[in-house]
Amino acid sequence: MIAKSIKILKGMRHPNGLFSASALKVKTGYDRAWIRDNVYEAIGLEAVDAISAVKTYQALLDILLKHEEKIDWAIKNKPTEKYQYIHARYDPLTLNEIWEEWGNKQNDAVGILIFKICELTNKGTDIVRNRHDIRILQKLVYYLESIEYWHDRDNGVWEENEEIHASSVGACVAGLKALRNTNFRLASINEKILLRRILVPIDLIKKGEETLKELLPRESETKEADLALLSLIYPLNVVNKSMARQIVKNVEKKLLRENGVIRYEGDKYYSNGKEAEWTMGIVWLGIIHKMLGNKIDYQYYRIKTVDVMNRKGELPELYFGGTNIHNENSPLGWSQALYLVMEKMRE
């Protein structure tokens, strides 16, 4: 199953390292590359071989470098419109922004990208190539400061209504904390190794932490339990074990269904009168139970994950509520990647 899932995941990857969110030829728009989805898909590769994930992160840095002038503008002029924010999705071949109306205010995508670049670097896998990568990372700090991420009403992980989302604020906190504690290795002309550190004001982190204290364990003003909150436990590890257990308890009590986890109560996306059931939630809960030392629950979700795969061994995006019928976004790279993480945790 691991080998099959690796093959499925790599089948969504382009030569430049970017992933489509789903199958390359899917007609739903999921053939495009989301920053967030690419991070999660790269996490799946990392579970098998960290070096193979490097190309994806470097391609994401190339996207930011291509749109550096836009980031410069946002640093000098606090964005007021969605299109002025760093976009969430791109053409995976040209790296151009997708310009249709969309919930482009997705601060969590910036935060989780920073976090993973730092995490891999601190584990000995270098992502940063040169001074240009260092420059764009420093500008991301200035960008998060400019948009005032700690109380910015963004569209969140699900690209919907504008609220202050704990999952978005938490991703930025995790990214900034990691960046503050990371030395980047750069080779100089005389082949000496130079260490570079990004400037991250401690107050910028504390403002986000204060927001999390006020919000958690809620996701936002309108949502108590939300699938996106699991990201604060894995991969971001930005909440303590007590809060992690509370988040998991809320998700399992309110959102867990037979073929997946609904994103939140009342979700209208692909609704058939009932909320759609997302397969990634099953895998995510398995990973987190393993982290929390709950071996029985981990095994339960491992088995349940295989049960919600289709006949091709794919994990689709979602099943229509209360049915065994999934939508056309299959496989979903995010789900398939988390499955690899969960399976490698057995070793």
| 3 state DSSP class of 125 | coil
| 3 state DSSP class of 29 | coil
CA 36/CA 306 separation, integer angstroms: 24
Task: Identify the band that residue 272 occupies on the pLDDT scale cut at 50, 70 and 90.
Answer: very high
CATH, domain range 2-344: 1.50.10.10
Average pLDDT estimate for 256-264: 98
118, 114, 237, 116: which is closest to 183 by C-alpha? Answer: 118
- Which pLDDT value is given to residue 195? 81
CA 258/CA 315 separation, integer angstroms: 14
Asked if 119 and 45 touch (Cβ cutoff 8 Å), the reply is no
Asked if 334 and 314 touch (Cβ cutoff 8 Å), the reply is no
Average pLDDT estimate for 145-154: 98
Handedness of CA 241, 242, 247, 253 (dihedral sign): positive
- Which residues, including other chains, have CB under 8 Å from residue 104's CB and lie 6 or more apart? 82, 83, 85, 86, 87, 88, 155
pTM: 0.97
CA 170/CA 277 separation, integer angstroms: 24
82, 108, 87: which is closest to 34 by C-alpha? Answer: 87
222, 225, 79: which is closest to 161 by C-alpha? Answer: 222
- Which pLDDT value is given to residue 191? 62
Question: Higher model confidence: residue 100 or residue 245?
Answer: 245
- Which pLDDT value is given to residue 196? 83
The structure tokens listed for 160 are 């919907």
Q: What percent of the chain has pLDDT over 70?
A: 98
**What ranges do the domains of the chain cover?**
2-344
Asked if 220 and 166 touch (Cβ cutoff 8 Å), the reply is yes
